[in-house]
Amino acid sequence: MFYWRDLDSVPEDFGPSVLTLGNFDGVHRGHLRVLQQVVEAARQRSAAAVVVSFDPHPAQVHRPDSAPELIMGLDDRVETLAGTGIDALLMMHYTLELASNTPEEFVERVFVRALKARAVVIGHDVRFGRGNSGDIETMRELGRKLGFEVIAIDDFGTSYPMAATDADGDRRCSSTWVREALEAGDVGTAARILGRHHRMRGDVVHGAARGRELGYPTANLAASSQGFIPADGIYAGWLIDEAGTRWPAAISVGSNPTFDGVDRQVEAHVINRPPERVQDFDLYGQAVVVEFVERLRGQVTYTGPEALIEQMKLDVDRARGLLSTEQQARR
């Protein structure tokens, strides 16, 4: 996949293309259906499948104090988009200057001159250009004027049937829904919307070493880690190290109320470490990925270390069983 961070990086001879426009935060199942349509349309027209997206998220520029927390960091968004079959990604730096372009200025400069769009795949709720003044009809008018086809997808093709017992039924897949699920600690629903486990990515840093003192050493993610932090609690999940090895893990999110003065943090205790490396299993300084599979419980304040240790043992045993079952299901 070609990856460009500005228009000047797009080769002059690139094209023709079939493209779509969006933020794609989370790259959930609804997004994946749109991207599948882009790839199929591109193949039918002997063109390149292209995604045009933005960094930072427009909301972070226009309303930084109320912008939603992003589901995934830029690195994960690029990696996930690359796995969808698209041929190129143009990640434009979003600024107030870019936002001031009229719909026609933006489309002509980006879609037509730079990417030589043969077709544009969008949803009926698309908004673009200065003050979000451009909509689906604007795009159709520009297509007729500038010479590209507009392929409109009903509701972005994002409806995803959940379990029959799910009260949400066929709710439209959206980044908002993913955030709601993660805020509630419901990483299972988030995974069904995303089509994969929710993940965070960051460097392992030194913490207070309380886990090691209690017999359950943890890999603490740096505060700068990317990805939406789910609700406080204990989760079963996976830690993926720099070598790509997937380790089963019990993950703690929160401030550990049993001890005073602890900031909110994400830390993962690797289960089933190799016997020969129980003492020297060192992840410090590594850039790791943490995946959340299932929430085991909320965060609880215990009367002392002994009660906490007993609960940690129960958490680890339960996480081990859940992850073993998932691993077997994958085979």
Beta strand residue intervals within 17-87, DSSP E: 17-21, 48-55
Q: Is 27 left (phi over 0), alpha (psi -120 to 50) or beta?
A: left
Residues whose CB is less than 8 angstroms from the CB of residue 128 and which lie 6 or more positions away in sequence, other chains included: 21, 103, 106, 107, 134, 138, 139
Q: Rounded distance, CA 117 to CA 27, Å? A: 23
What residues does 198 pair with on adjacent strands?
Answer: 292
Q: Rounded distance, CA 265 to CA 101, Å? A: 41
Lookup: tokens for 113: 């001159």
Residue 199 Cα to chain centre, angstroms: 7
Domains belonging to the chain, first-starting first, are: 2-156 (3.40.50.620), 197-330 (2.40.30.30)
Side chain identity at residue 312, one-letter code? M
Q: How many CB atoms lie within 10 A of CB 133?
A: 11
Q: Nearest to residue 118, comparing CAs of 38, 221, 9?
A: 38
In this structure, are strands 233-240 and 48-55 parallel, antiparallel, or unpaired?
unpaired
Q: In 58-157, which residue ranges form alpha helices assigned H by DSSP?
A: 58-62, 74-82, 96-99, 103-106, 136-146
8 Å CB contact between 293 and 190: no
**Is residue 181 classed as helix, strand or coil in its secondary structure?**
helix
Q: Rounded distance, CA 331 to CA 325, Å? A: 10
Q: Rounded distance, CA 257 to CA 252, Å? A: 12
Per-residue confidence of the chain (331 residues) as pLDDT tens digits? 999 999 999 999 999 999 999 999 999 999 999 999 999 999 999 999 999 999 999 999 999 999 999 999 999 999 999 999 999 999 999 999 999 999 999 999 999 999 999 999 998 889 999 999 999 999 999 999 999 999 998 754 344 444 433 445 567 889 999 999 999 999 999 999 999 999 999 999 987 655 555 668 889 999 999 999 999 999 999 999 999 999 999 999 997 655 455 568 999 999 977 655 555 567 999 999 999 999 999 988 776 778 788 888 999 999 999 998 887 777 6
Would you tell me the crossing angle of helices 175-183 and 187-194 to the nearest 10 degrees?
Answer: 160
